[in-house]
């Protein structure tokens, strides 16, 4: 066989030829290496969609061009031969955007913008295939954009402003799209062979060639979508010597209808299979298509849109994962596999029933030279009924906890002729339930006694241990029973066997999720403001959408630049006995290894106390603690070499949980305490006293752009330039200077924008810059490092998990006489920014959006909810004007009662409360819950000195204005608001609606605005806005005489005249929040200059058999004063709320013993417009909005709790619900505490550890 050695494809309409490309290179690596940096690195596992591109192919046989959206991080570069790859840069730019880019940019569709190109390319691919997609198809195309449920792709309503509701968009013209290159339509593919010193890649172009290669290389790995192999290479460091690519073999893309069923090529992608299955549903008779309909429905929840486009049927069969979405169906439908090999120079196939194919965990019956060529799916027969079920932590884009495919065939008397029950997630592989199948054979379907016996046998058949791999043993067993209950009644109904109770009939399917919709009803700019308050789109929104927005890792490589990789601890707690980098240093391309002994300045650092080290010197306290830095010529070399550093440990006892820390008295010093009144006297006066525990879980920040830094040493005077993705550029400057032993005036910190932060880049971003600076100091070379997702998650901190142990006393009428709460926060191994902080051997917890307030709200509302249930009290009191907060602060300018009442009315709370109760009375396994909750959020830094900001504003001779301030653009629209404030203050509104070309903002840099506070605490618009305003007012005052003398002249002419009069056209602005200064020891002084308040009403529906839930509707109102930009603030409200929902429902942090989302279907946003802002010291009467809405995500948690109460009531269980956060499906299901859960309970045996 003759092989070619040249890769040929087109990229954005341009021909590309590469001689012998690296078989391990991804398309993402390649496009970024040639400067196409709009395609982002987010997770490198195909989960976030930030790297989405479009790949177009031409099929000569059908004469059709197909387009798929794919994850560039998973797509092998070698796989695109003969194809046309289109990246975000290929469809438009800022000067000439594509209509999709234009619309998303103009309608507030981006925040930090890092993942926006992924959204654009997902929608672009859909439109290239379908010019008139439905709303469902549009929503589905975004399911592979992982941050859609966290940052929120905002859909802004046209209620904002008349000027913006009349936007004239480009008309979409499909004829103007990049055509498929004619040269590629004539391209004749040839077998290809690429190789490196590690891997060989073969690309056969027909079945015979493939089988010949498989015979020659029996241990070769077959590659198609690369969705599993790529992740295994990364997470398990697997190295494959021989790869054979299947994607260009015509015989493996076929399908065939015959009388008995459907043949599908094993190499067919999931999305291709969906299309064929739809066709099959029209081809066969109605009674024959049930298997195809069921598989179609099942595949909707298979992974994500981008993965479905490339992942293959055969790949899933061969992977043999226990949580496979496909294998249970193949087993229960009794599908047949065709195994093919080359015999006597011809392909020979043998059929294997699916039940006989798998021989053990990740083992099957294929001979070494055989491939899985086809899958036969039989038509359903008369009397056959098949259904599939899946339960995961998130409804879409998540792996199954348990899934099932259940099938029965009934005779005319409803007796079972045949049964096949297959379950995933109940063993190390998908398994059938033979005892249950044998029992039900011959039994009459619909007989309740038979069902009870079947359930008992199922429970006996799945004997899980408490330490079952993956955990959740009780929940898993209850799901098996739940699925069988659903199946039993579904078949009974579908087969017309007998009447079904009305309270069961509507509960047997999945919870229905409609296409999301929303309403935004917001205010108008304050009278007199011409620019401030207008919903102007994010100043960088167009560059976000075109991929031209530059983030740290997009900065072009500098001459001589090296790459750094961090060597981290693999132990939870241990002494470091020896570090041996010898093998790593001998690797070609490695330039150095640096550890604690190499730090020229201070190795110790910290925010509160100096209890952390840049590089661990003698002892490690958690998995992921940094020990050293490998520096090499490339990222690939550095990543490989870091695993070669040998570290010898002496393991020490470790603490992971709050309970372990309390038991072993492992606390940090300086616990905070807040006391008012005589607690014991209050308990004596109480009629009732209740005690309990409440927990709030942790949360991973999961910003789209991981931590990244570029450190550049200068040639003289020990000067350094630091580009870092950080919220805290001043601390970056100072800590790098300390680590190098040089003054801060020799270090310049820079950042233009950050791809999301949420508090996680306030302190934890500093360590990377310091580590790289040490390497750069010694090597005198620039060093860059962008952490991969796994590294970022184990090295940085998360939101603090909190345990509250409480005791509360109340009078008969519900008045609280005494409340004693001990809050225990798991701070990890160091103080960082952390109530009583327990010390544990996990990564140090960090600031996170809300910073303690979400945990506080969840805990106190949980306490009050439990007490209200004990005492049968529903109504809650709210602060009134003039009352005193726990910080001895008098409540002023208080509109929360009115906000609360507005939500109560607009949500029709009283009416819907009755409707929810009625629904619950009519549905056995579906319950709805309703929650109405207010919040107040004090806005300021708790530390007085941080409440300051500076700005520098220049006016150039041509009339253009340059603004610099100390805040960082992290996606919250800070720079846009600063430009609006400056334009208003300089009275530039008469030039254009928003003079982006006149007023400009470049970056945040420590040599321009010094000593800046972190961008955090929802105060950045206030602090920096005032500083910018003050600077502009100084300049406006200087220009005032010229404006008076030259009333009809342009701004440029006025500036020119002032310049020639030698007027200073540069001004420094400074602001410090007046009057604040709280003393926590004396509990006196002003802590918050104002409160941002809000309220929300949320309705949910839960499935009590699975713990699944959906948010039916949320009504949310915020008092945000007079917004600086209503469009941006609505995005912050939506995103904050949904991030709060994730925290309290599905984002669960798990630690191994050794140390290692859905959005509302109907989302209605309102801003309260009745507030008077004259007393606010905030800029233009606005209020901080970044964090407060997150707290209202708790309404989902309490609505779920309300639904669980209804479920218990249905089962005559009136015990008080104690629900732990996050309210995962497991916790929801177990909390329903019904007979099924009790019968499925898996008890812990002596000495048995949880998974």
Quick one: average pLDDT of 822-828? 87
CA 190 to chain CA mean position, Å:
41
1187 in catalytic set: yes
626 in a labelled binding site: no
Given pLDDT bands bounded at 50, 70 and 90, which one contains residue 838? low
| DSSP single-letter state for residue 286 | G
Residue of 856, 832, 795 lying closest to 668 (CA atoms) = 832
Least confident of 16-25, 823-832, 915-924, 989-998: 989-998
Per-residue pLDDT at 1154 exceeds 60: no
- pLDDT tens digits, one per residue of 139-191: 889 988 854 444 444 443 333 333 344 568 989 999 999 999 999 999 999 99
Per-residue pLDDT at 986 exceeds 80: yes
Quick one: average pLDDT of 528-541? 93
Q: Say which residue, 1114 or 155, is predicted with more confidence.
A: 1114
Write down the catalytic residue from 1187, 1235, 1243, 1248.
1187
Q: Is 779 helix (H, G, I), strand (E, B) or coil?
A: helix
| DSSP single-letter state for residue 180 | P
226 in a labelled binding site: yes
141 in a labelled binding site: no
CA 423 to chain CA mean position, Å:
29
Q: Say which residue, 835 or 710, is predicted with more confidence.
A: 710
The chain-wide mean pLDDT, for the chain, equals 93
Task: Please report the pLDDT score of residue 728 as a whole number.
Answer: 98
Residue 1120 tokens read as: 């945000």
Residue 760 tokens read as: 């996680």
For 856-978, where are the E strands, in sequence order?
926-938, 948-955, 961-965
Is 810 in contact with 871 (CB distance < 8 Å)?
yes
For 522-596, where are the E strands, in sequence order?
562-568, 574-580, 590-594
- pLDDT tens digits, one per residue of 739-758: 999 999 999 999 999 999 99
222 in a labelled binding site: yes
- pLDDT tens digits, one per residue of 80-125: 999 999 999 999 999 999 999 999 999 999 999 999 999 999 999 9
Residues with Cβ within 8 Å of 979's Cβ and at least 6 positions away in sequence, in order, are 539, 963, 994, 996, 999, 1000, 1001
Size of the chain in residues: 1251
224 in a labelled binding site: yes
Residue 1008 CB coordination number (10 Å): 18
Alpha helices in 1169-1247 (DSSP H): 1188-1191, 1194-1210, 1225-1231, 1235-1240
Domains and CATH numbers, the chain: 6-196 (3.10.20.30), 254-381 (3.30.465.10), 396-474+483-512 (3.30.390.50), 879-936+1087-1251 (3.30.365.10), 948-1072 (3.30.365.10)
858 in a labelled binding site: no
860 in a labelled binding site: no
Per-residue pLDDT at 1022 exceeds 50: yes
Question: What is the phi/psi pair of residue 980, to 5°?
Answer: -65, -45
Residue of 1080, 1096, 1109, 1106 lying closest to 1201 (CA atoms) = 1109
CA distance 891 to 884: 6
Per-residue pLDDT at 1100 exceeds 50: yes
Got the DSSP string for 367-436? -TT-EEEEEEEEPP-TTEEEEEEEEESSSSS--EEEEEEEEEEE-TTSBEEEEEEEEESSSSS-EE-HHH
Is 1077 in contact with 1124 (CB distance < 8 Å)?
no
Per-residue pLDDT at 1245 exceeds 80: yes
Quick one: average pLDDT of 1062-1070? 99
Given pLDDT bands bounded at 50, 70 and 90, which one contains residue 992? very low
762 in a labelled binding site: yes
1240 in a labelled binding site: no
498 in a labelled binding site: no
913 in a labelled binding site: no
CA distance 187 to 1067: 63
CA distance 244 to 224: 9
Residues with Cβ within 8 Å of 527's Cβ and at least 6 positions away in sequence, in order, are none
Quick one: average pLDDT of 1228-1243? 97
Is 703 in contact with 1135 (CB distance < 8 Å)?
no
Residues with Cβ within 8 Å of 683's Cβ and at least 6 positions away in sequence, in order, are 689, 807, 809, 817, 818, 820
Q: Is 1143 helix (H, G, I), strand (E, B) or coil?
A: helix
Is 1069 in contact with 967 (CB distance < 8 Å)?
no
Got the DSSP string for 668-737? -S-------S-HHHHHHH-SEEEEEEEEE--B----SS--EEEEEE-SSTT-EEEEE--S-HHHHHHHHH
Quick one: average pLDDT of 513-538? 89
- pLDDT tens digits, one per residue of 759-808: 999 999 999 999 999 999 999 999 999 999 999 999 998 999 999 999 99
281 in a labelled binding site: no
Got the DSSP string for 507-541? TSSPPP-PPPEEEEE---PPTT-SSTBS-PPPTTH
Task: Please report the pLDDT score of residue 990 as a whole number.
Answer: 59
Residues with Cβ within 8 Å of 1104's Cβ and at least 6 positions away in sequence, in order, are 924, 925, 926, 927, 1207, 1229, 1232, 1234
Q: pTM (2 decimals)? A: 0.95
Question: Rounded to a whole number, what is the largest CA-CA distance in the chain?
Answer: 103
Residues with Cβ within 8 Å of 665's Cβ and at least 6 positions away in sequence, in order, are none
Quick one: average pLDDT of 1006-1035? 98
Residue of 1218, 1250, 1215 lying closest to 1234 (CA atoms) = 1215
145 in a labelled binding site: yes
194 in a labelled binding site: no
1146 in a labelled binding site: no
CA distance 256 to 266: 12
480 in a labelled binding site: no
Residue 1235 CB coordination number (10 Å): 10
Is 360 in contact with 306 (CB distance < 8 Å)?
no
| DSSP single-letter state for residue 1079 | B
CA distance 347 to 823: 69
Residues with Cβ within 8 Å of 1152's Cβ and at least 6 positions away in sequence, in order, are none
Q: Is 91 helix (H, G, I), strand (E, B) or coil?
A: coil
Task: Please report the pLDDT score of residue 1150 as a whole number.
Answer: 67
582 in a labelled binding site: no
Task: Please report the pLDDT score of residue 987 as a whole number.
Answer: 93
1197 in a labelled binding site: no
228 in a labelled binding site: yes
């Amino acid at each position: 066989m003759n092989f070619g050695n040249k890769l040929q494809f087109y990229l954005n309409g341009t021909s590309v030829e590469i001689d012998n490309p690296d078989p391990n290179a991804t398309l993402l690596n390649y496009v970024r290496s040639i400067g196409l940096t709009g395609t982002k690195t987010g997770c490198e596992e195909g989960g976030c969609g930030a790297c989405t591109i479009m790949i177009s192919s031409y099929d000569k046989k059908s004469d059709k061009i197909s387009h798929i959206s794919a994850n560039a991080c998973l797509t092998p570069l070698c796989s695109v031969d003969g194809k046309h790859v289109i990246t975000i840069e290929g469809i438009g730019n800022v000067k000439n955007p594509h209509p999709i880019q234009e619309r998303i940019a103009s309608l507030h569709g981006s925040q930090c913008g890092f993942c926006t190109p992924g959204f654009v390319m997902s929608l672009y691919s859909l439109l290239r295939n379908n010019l008139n997609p439905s709303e469902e198809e549009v929503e589905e195309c975004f399911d592979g954009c992982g941050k859609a449920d966290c940052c929120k792709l905002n859909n802004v309503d046209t209620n904002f402003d008349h000027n913006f509701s009349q936007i004239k968009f480009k008309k979409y013209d499909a004829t103007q799209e990049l055509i498929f290159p004619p040269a590629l339509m004539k391209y004749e593919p040839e077998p290809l062979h690429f190789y490196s010193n590690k891997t060989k890649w073969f690309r056969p172009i027909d079945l015979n060639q493939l089988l010949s290669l498989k015979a020659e290389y029996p241990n070769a790995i077959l590659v198609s979508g690369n969705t599993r192999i790529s992740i295994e290479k990364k997470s398990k460091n697997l190295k494959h010597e021989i790869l054979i690519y299947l994607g260009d073999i015509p015989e493996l893309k076929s399908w065939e209808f015959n009388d008995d069923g459907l043949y599908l090529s094993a190499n067919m992608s999931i999305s291709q299979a969906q299309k064929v299955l739809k066709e099959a549903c029209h081809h066969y008779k109605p009674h024959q298509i049930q298997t195809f309909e069921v598989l179609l429905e099942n595949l909707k929840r298979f992974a994500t849109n981008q993965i479905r486009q490339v992942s293959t049927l055969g790949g899933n069969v061969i992977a043999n994962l226990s949580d496979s979405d496909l294998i249970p169906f193949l087993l229960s439908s009794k599908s047949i596999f065709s195994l093919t090999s080359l015999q006597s120079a011809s392909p020979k196939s043998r059929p294997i029933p699916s039940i006989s194919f798998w021989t053990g965990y990740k083992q099957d019956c294929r001979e070494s030279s055989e491939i899985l060529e086809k899958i036969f799916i039989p038509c359903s027969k008369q009397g056959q009924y098949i259904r599939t079920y899946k339960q995961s932590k998130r409804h879409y884009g998540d792996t199954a906890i348990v899934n099932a495919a259940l099938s029965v065939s009934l005779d005319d008397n409803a007796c079972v002729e045949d049964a096949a029950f297959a379950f995933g997630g109940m063993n190390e592989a998908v398994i059938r339930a033979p005892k249950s199948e044998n029992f039900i054979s011959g039994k009459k379907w619909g007989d309740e006694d038979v069902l009870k016996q079947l359930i008992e046998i199922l429970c006996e058949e799945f004997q899980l241990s408490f330490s079952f791999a993956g955990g959740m043993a009780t929940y898993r067993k209850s799901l098996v029973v739940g699925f069988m209950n659903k199946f039993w009644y579904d078949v009974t109904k579908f087969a017309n066997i007998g009447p079904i109770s009305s309270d069961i009939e509507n509960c047997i399917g999945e919870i229905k999720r409609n296409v999301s919709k929303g309403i935004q009803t917001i205010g108008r700019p304050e009278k007199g403001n011409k620019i401030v308050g207008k919903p102007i789109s994010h100043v960088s929104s167009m560059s976000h959408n075109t991929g031209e927005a530059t983030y740290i890792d997009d900065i072009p490589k500098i001459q001589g630049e090296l790459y750094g990789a961090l060597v981290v601890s693999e132990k939870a707690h241990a002494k470091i006995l020896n570090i041996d980098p010898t093998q790593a240093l001998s690797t070609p391309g490695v330039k150095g290894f640096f550890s604690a002994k190499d730090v020229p300045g201070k190795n110790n650092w910290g925010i509160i106390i100096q209890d952390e080290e840049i590089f661990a010197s003698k002892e490690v306290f958690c998995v992921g603690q940094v020990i050293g830095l490998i520096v090499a010529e490339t990222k690939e070399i550095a990543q490989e070499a870091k695993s070669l550093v040998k570290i010898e440990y002496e393991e020490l006892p470790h603490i992971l949980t709050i309970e372990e820390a309390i038991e072993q008295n492992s606390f940090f010093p300086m616990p905070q305490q807040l006391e008012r009144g005589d607690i014991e006297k209050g308990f004596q006066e109480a009629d009732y006293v209740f005690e309990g525990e409440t927990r709030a879980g942790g949360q991973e920040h999961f910003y789209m752009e991981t931590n990244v830094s570029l450190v550049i040493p200068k040639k003289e005077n020990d000067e350094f330039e630091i580009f870092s993705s950080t919220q805290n550029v001043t601390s970056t400057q100072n800590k790098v200077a300390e680590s190098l032993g040089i003054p801060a005036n020799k270090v310049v910190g820079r950042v233009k924008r950050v791809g999301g932060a949420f508090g996680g880049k306030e302190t934890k971003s500093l360590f990377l810059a310091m580590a790289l600076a040490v390497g750069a100091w010694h090597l005198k070379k620039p060093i860059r490092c962008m952490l991969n997702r796994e590294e970022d998650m184990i090295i940085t901190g998360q939101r603090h998990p909190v345990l509250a142990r409480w005791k509360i006393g109340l009078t008969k009428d519900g008045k609280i006489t005494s409340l004693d709460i001990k809050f225990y926060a798991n701070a990890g191994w160091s103080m960082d920014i952390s109530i009583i902080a327990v010390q544990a051997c996990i990564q140090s917890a960090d600031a996170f959006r809300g910073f303690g307030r979400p945990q506080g709200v969840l805990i106190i509302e949980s306490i009050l909810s439990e007490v209200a249930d004990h005492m049968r009290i529903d109504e809650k009191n709210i602060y009134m004007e003039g009352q005193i907060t726990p910080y001895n602060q008098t409540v002023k300018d208080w509109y929360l009662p009115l906000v609360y009442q507005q939500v109560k009315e607009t949500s029709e709370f009283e009416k819907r409360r009755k409707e929810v109760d009625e629904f619950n009375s009519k549905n056995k396994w579906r319950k709805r819950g309703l929650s109405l909750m207010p919040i107040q959020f004090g806005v300021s830094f708790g530390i007085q000195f941080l409440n300051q900001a500076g700005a520098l504003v220049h006016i150039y001779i041509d009339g253009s204005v340059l603004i610099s301030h100390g805040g960082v653009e992290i996606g919250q629209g800070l720079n846009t608001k600063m430009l609006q404030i400056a334009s208003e203050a300089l009275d530039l509104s008469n030039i254009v609606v928003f003079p982006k070309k006149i007023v400009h903002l470049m970056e945040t840099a420590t040599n321009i605005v010094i000593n800046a506070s972190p961008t955090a605490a929802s105060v950045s618009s206030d602090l920096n806005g005032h500083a910018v305003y003050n600077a502009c007012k100084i300049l406006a005052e200087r220009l005032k005489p010229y404006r008076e003398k030259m009333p009809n002249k342009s701004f440029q002419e006025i500036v020119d005249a002032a310049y020639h009069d030698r007027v200073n056209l540069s001004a420094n602005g400074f602001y410090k929040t007046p009057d604040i200064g709280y003393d926590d020891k004396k509990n006196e002084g002003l802590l918050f200059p104002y409160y941002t308040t809000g309220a929300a009403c949320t309705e949910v529906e839960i499935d009590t058999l699975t713990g699944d839930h959906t948010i039916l509707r949320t009504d949310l109102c915020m008092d945000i004063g007079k917004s600086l930009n209503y469009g941006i603030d609505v995005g912050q409200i939506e995103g904050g709320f949904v991030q709060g929902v994730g925290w309290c429902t599905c984002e669960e942090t798990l630690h191994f013993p050794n140390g290692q989302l859905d959005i509302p279907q109907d989302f209605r946003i309102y801003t309260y417009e009745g507030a008077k802002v004259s007393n606010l010291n905030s800029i233009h009467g606005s209020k901080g909005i970044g964090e407060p809405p997150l707290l209202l995500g708790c309404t989902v948690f309490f609505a779920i709790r309300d639904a669980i109460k209804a479920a218990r009531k249905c089962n005559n269980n009136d015990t008080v619900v104690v629900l732990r956060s996050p309210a995962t499906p497991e916790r929801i299901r177990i909390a329903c505490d019904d007979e099924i859960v009790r019968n499925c309970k898996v008890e812990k045996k002596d000495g048995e550890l949880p998974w």
